Amino acid sequence: MFCTYKHIVPIQRRFIKNIFILMLITNFSVFIAKSNPTPPISRLLAFKRAKSLDNGISISWYEQTWNKEVLAKTPLKPADFVLLKQLGFKSLRLPVAFSHFEAQQIPVEQLFTHIDKFVKQCSFYGFKVIIDNHGGSLNDSNFSAETQKLINLWTKLTKRYLHVNHDVLFFELYNEPPHMNPQIWKDAAYNIVTAIRKVDKERTLIIGASNYNSIYELSRFVRLADENVVYTFHFYEPFLFTHQGAEWVGDQESTVEVPFPYNTETFPPINPKAKNTDGEKNYNKYKFDGNEQSVRDKLQIVKAWSNKYYVPILCGEYGVYNKYADQHSRCLYIKTVRLTLNALDIPGMIWDYNSNFSIFNGRPSLNTLPDCMKDAIGYNMKK
């Protein structure tokens, strides 16, 4: 059939329209893929297990190097497990100061008996559990010798718990690696992972970045060549609020009665001891950092890194030192972090259940958990 100009123009228009629609669909699909990347099949298990750790909390006990009764008592009684279950927690993190006990010439096998009991109790009450190697002396100078010590430790742990369900038990290789060369830490971590994999190829391992599990160091970290790793970070931003008055930090956090969020009317004057320290910088920035949006922006940094490498992440610690922070601010902060983590689909664990960051006012019980904290941890939604 002979085509006139009138026939050609509508065809061209339809063609251009279809191309335009196709471009829109393609661009939208790319946007969705970037926002919610699909992990490789080889990492789906790690993603699934990481998600199972959500609504977790640390049990402070075997990392308390100052406590002379650590091995004489157990950290949790049956009533504690029942309470934790009632409050909706699903995973428990057990920090253990292995290097401290070694220095005290306490055989690691003696520690194992305590850990065995805890793992069995967690299994009985239906909790996931993380064994966390809490602390050590690894640094840029001694990394070769210290890495070998860590390999020896984790080889023993891996063999001992080889029979424990891989969906239930997790290994955290090193709590808060210090401010050291990131590449040296990465090499050390990879060597430890390689040693563990010779014994157990299925255990999900938890690894953080140097500079104390910093979100900023993690954002610069290149993932390890292992498909079954969850990458952890600790979130205590803004530090001026979460660690106010913390004696072990020093003068930089000597300013107390800091509210969250920032309030110009109740914001205290800076403690003179904090002058000319990092605390003064944090104090001056608090009007910008002490709010919910800043929390969201900072957590988005690690979420973007997770999307970039298609790897699961875990907020292994967040919380507030409870000696000086007012109750209302503590509740608001914990609720803000929890809801932001949920929105970003990042599992989170509170620090801690039973020590100086405890969410309770006194000995843990439902009666000593403030109403605002029940709301902060989402208990009212779980009843």
Q: What is the CATH number of the domain that holds 203?
A: 3.20.20.80
Measured CA to CA in angstroms, residue 332 lies from 292, 372, 373, 376 at distances of 9, 8, 8, 7
Does any domain span residue 25?
no
Q: What is the share, in percent, of the chain residues with pLDDT greater than 70?
A: 90
* Structural contact between residues 111 and 62, judged by C-beta atoms closer than 8 angstroms: yes
In a domain, 195, yes or no: yes
Question: pLDDT value at position 40?
Answer: 86
d(CA 152, CA 155): 5
pLDDT value for 13: 53
Q: Which helix (H) or strand (E) holds 289?
A: helix 278-289
Q: What is the pLDDT of residues 144-185, one digit of tens each?
A: 999 999 999 999 999 999 999 999 999 999 999 999 999 999
Taking the model in full, what pTM does it have?
A: 0.89
Look at the alpha carbons of 209, 110, 356, 383 in this order and tell me if their dihedral is positive or negative.
positive
Distance from first CA to last CA of the chain, Å, rounded?
74
Three-state DSSP class for residue 206: strand
pLDDT mean over 313-336: 99
Give the residues across from 130 on adjacent strands.
93, 170
Residue 105 lies in a domain: yes
In a domain, 339, yes or no: yes
pLDDT at 356: 96
* Assigned token pair, 210: 């140097």
**Cis? peptide before 95, omega within 30° of 0:** no
| Per-residue model confidence (pLDDT) at position 380 | 73
- What average pLDDT is seen over the chain? 92
* 316 token code pair: 């292994």
In a domain, 37, yes or no: no
Rounded Cα–Cα distance for residues 48 and 130 (Å):
15
Amino acid in position 18 = N
Residue 17 lies in a domain: no
Residue with tokens 């661009």: 27
Domain total for the chain?
A: 1
Domain-embedded: residue 284: no
Whether the pLDDT of residue 11 is over 70: the answer is no
In a domain, 208, yes or no: yes
Q: Which domain holds residue 128?
A: 44-231+314-382
CA distance 10 to 17: 10
- Summarised one tens digit per residue, pLDDT across range 215-265 is 999 999 999 999 999 999 999 999 999 999 999 999 999 999 999 999 999
Q: What is the mean pLDDT of residues 126-150?
A: 97
